[in-house]
Structure 1
């Protein structure tokens, strides 16, 4: 069978909000030779002064617009899809995550890695994790959905923190220093692993570094999702600079 000249190992269709400026460079940085990423933007108005109510409504709007982005990217005939937006994959717990994945796979006819289940797979790869803390750029109402999902998956959520970004684009403007302070805030001897959700939050490099000085798994959702897509497609090569997940598992 003929193969794409550049994506001869795999062509990934990446679905992300149109306001998201972090996922595309993050995934490209983790892209092995022979794998190509083809970004399809989910139309997302840049809601300003995001609140509990508007963040939930905005997230559901993104979810409603996913299928149009799926239809668009499928014209490039990708082998697999990678979800570059996390909040919608946590809504309604495990049941909601399973339903979202099934709807996209039924529509596209190919598999997809979604943020919620990819984080669970990452936790299982590390092993021995029972108690977690997580951080997000979201507002409390969305953090409740993330907490519900991880509880459904059998983890005890010890602590969480929402950074309450004031717009969707504003998430990408959160600094490494701010993220580092939150990591310190939610860490503790009662936490086995820390997870960062929110794909427009730049945490891939910080999470990798934090594993060294915290001595425990620190999982950035963009790393977990792209790792899951690679491994699910039989691409097992290891990569330095993105934490233990890509280096060891």
Structure 2
């Protein structure tokens, strides 16, 4: 018999323990009959202002991701979302397949959604290649994001980092700061704006910005959840969070 509250789809989600934005945003996106079940990668809120500090945070995420996945698969989800962006981009495009395979193995063979695949699919759905990107990071975190988009053939016109010094501080980014960042990166030659970082609460702001700019504005959490739903047969159009979930 199907799960009483999630008869259509049970989504496992793993996020860093410092992340306070992904869980409420993903819960707001749920269609009827879909439930989310969150596990946490236990990390410290360490500084990531230089490469050794950023790598230290990444090491904590790598060490704790598999235990977090094992913790959430106990409820037998249909799929798993890996809700952390830097780990998806830090090792480069060539390493992504290996990382994804390792996550699927930890999830017992279940479908796994990670940011690189979800963002690629979202940009393909909109048919755009000329983009600007907003990150929550200092330059040391912006560099691998820039490399990821470049290696995947996107015309990356602008990158704007919001300079947060630690993982937990990312959740402190205000809608005002995000609005200003959108203004900073937008131009007539930009076909779409992409926000990376799952601890950035940008789902609603992105939808509003998209309406006023007349172009896709993709927030990381919405993109991840959209991809997980569509990969697993849930085609509901969810309104209020931008054209991706409403039209694709």
TM-score (norm 1): 0.96
- Residue pair 1:12, 1:78 contacting (<8 A) in 2 also: yes
When structure 1 is superposed on structure 2, of 134-143 and 37-46 the one drifting more is 134-143
Task: Tell me how far apart the structure 1 counterparts of residues 7 and 232 of structure 2 sit (CA, whole Å).
Answer: 13
Task: Tell me how far apart the structure 2 counterparts of residues 65 and 236 of structure 1 sit (CA, whole Å).
Answer: 32
In structure 2, stretches of 5+ residues that fail to align are none
Stretches of 4+ aligned residues off by more than 4 angstroms? none
In structure 1, stretches of 5+ residues that fail to align are none
Instruction: Indicate the residue corresponding to 1:191 in structure 2.
Output: 190
Question: What does 1:227-246 correspond to in 2, within 5 Å?
Answer: 227-246=226-245
Question: What does 1:111-150 correspond to in 2, within 5 Å?
Answer: 111-127=111-127, 129-150=128-149
Question: What does 1:1-249 correspond to in 2, within 5 Å?
Answer: 2-48=1-47, 50-53=48-51, 54-108=53-107, 109-127=109-127, 129-249=128-248
- Residue pair 1:56, 1:141 contacting (<8 A) in 2 also: no
Cα root mean square deviation, aligned:
1.1
- Residue pair 1:174, 1:201 contacting (<8 A) in 2 also: yes
SS across alignment from 2:172: coil
SS across alignment from 2:74: helix
Show CA shifts across 1:146-186 (max 9, x none): 11111122101111011111222111111000111111111
Between Structure 1 and Structure 2, how many residues are aligned?
A: 246
SS across alignment from 2:165: coil
- Residue pair 2:136, 2:200 contacting (<8 A) in 1 also: yes
Task: Tell me how far apart the structure 2 counterparts of residues 98 and 169 of structure 1 sit (CA, whole Å).
Answer: 28
Task: Tell me how far apart the structure 2 counterparts of residues 140 and 63 of structure 1 sit (CA, whole Å).
Answer: 21
SS across alignment from 1:188: coil
